[in-house]
Chains A and B, each alone.
Chain A
Amino acid sequence: MTRKQKRLSMIVAAGMVLALAVGLILWALNDQIVFFNSPSDITEQKVKVGQRIRLGGLVEDDSIVRGEGTTIVFSVTDNANSIKVSYTGILPDLFREGQGVVTEGSLQADGVFLADTVLAKHDENYMPREVADTLKEKGYWQGDKTK
């Protein structure tokens, strides 16, 4: 082996060890790295009352109930389980039925998730309105069911 080959193989070996180490760390931290939990995660894992978590999913159709002032109650669903969320404050523009949202707060004793933050999550589909309308007319629409 020439000196260049030696140096190259050393870098490759060190790189593989480093990648493996980082991979294992990320694997172990998986639960901390995910940004939110789905309603199913929360139902199955028996999250404690008052524990601060993020709940993410779709706003369930026909679940939005507006209360006094800016208080709003809606359900977040992952199409398997759904959790009722209560929130007081300003909602992001994209908030509507069928939209992906991430809420931050804690589960109350009555099973309602009391959120102090509601963030909207949007998907990677970008298109002009006319294209979206045409897709919906022709029945090719696979995205949200908002309109």
Chain B
Amino acid sequence: MPSATGKFSFWDLANPTRFLSYSGKLLPWFIAATVITMTAGLYMAFFTAPPDYQQGETVRIMFIHVPSAWLAMMAYSIMTLSSIGRLVWKHPLADVSAKAAAPIGAIFTLCALITGSLWGKPMWGTWWVWDARLTSFLLLFIVYLGLVALWRTIEDPLKAGHAAAIMTLVGSVNIPIIKYSVVWWNTLHQPPGALRITGSSVDSSILIPLLTMAVAFSLLFLVLHAMAMRNEIKRRRIRTLHLSQAQTATGSVTSHTLSSAEQN
């Protein structure tokens, strides 16, 4: 609902039409910010960051690996919040957000798995081990793929959204397990060091490029997510149009799924 006072409210964004209009205006700025931070981050990662005292140049894999893993988990957290919004408030935009984030999260997860494997071979001496961190992270990838498949299996977006939201919430128990796997059990993967209360165990000359890359990856995710949401909203409108046309053509009056994305 448009606010009568003329003041901007967060909930104004939560309307598909208004979301399309605002995101359309903001996207170019976010794309520019992504390109700038990504360029700066990659330059620092490859040229100004020093080699590690122990790992040498191999440490540079971290600048891709760690932000990918963070974003893989952030994408899932966004999907979890969206799923709660979908189930409790039945909000159509929450549904769109959850669906749009899944493939992007899956790609970030795959990126973290591949770069981790490439890093593991020279440092640990193995591409893969079944320790708690690696196994729970692989599970996250499988959950992502399952969710994408679920969205595609059920044709009606309302039913698909409902099923996917429940599965997303079930899968969200894995997120704290991934996070704390290296603390709860002994693993081959090292414990977290970059961001912790007692101070970072990563020297600032390596930490600054890492955090820059993390900001760049977060912006990249926001851009991709907003674009995917816009596509999804438009896709649903086309679907609704097709359905109403088909119904007019056959003269049927079953008011099924009509304007499912627009009822707000």
Q: Identify the A interface with B (CB < 8 A).
A: 4, 7-8, 11, 14-15, 18-19, 22, 26, 30, 33-36, 56, 91-94, 102, 117-133
Contact = CB atoms under 8 A, between A and B. Distances in A.
Contact of B125 (A14, A26, A91, A131): A91
Given A19-B173, A124-B202, 4 more contacts: A11-B88, A15-B169, A119-B129, A121-B188
Most buried by B among A33, A93, A123: A33
B87 A131 contact: no
B190 A18 contact: no
B155 interface: no
Interface of B: 50-55, 59, 62, 84, 87-89, 122-126, 129-132, 169-170, 173, 177, 184-188, 190-194, 201-203, 205-206
Given A126-B206, A129-B53, A120 B201 contact: no
A72 B188 CA distance: 22
Nearest to B130: A35
A36 B124 contact: no
Most buried by B among A26, A34, A35, A121: A35
A122 B190 contact: yes
A22 B173 contact: yes
Given A33-B185, A35-B132, A124 B193 contact: yes
Contact of B52 (A26, A126, A133): A126
Contacts of B185: 30, 33-35
A124 B188 CA distance: 12
B52 A119 contact: no
30 contacts: A18-B170, A18-B173, A26-B177, A34-B186, A35-B187, A56-B186, A93-B122, A94-B55, A118-B125, A119-B124, A120-B124, A121-B190, A122-B54, A122-B123, A122-B190, A124-B190, A124-B193, A125-B193, A126-B62, A126-B193, A126-B202, A126-B206, A127-B52, A127-B203, A127-B205, A127-B206, A128-B50, A130-B50, A132-B53, A132-B54
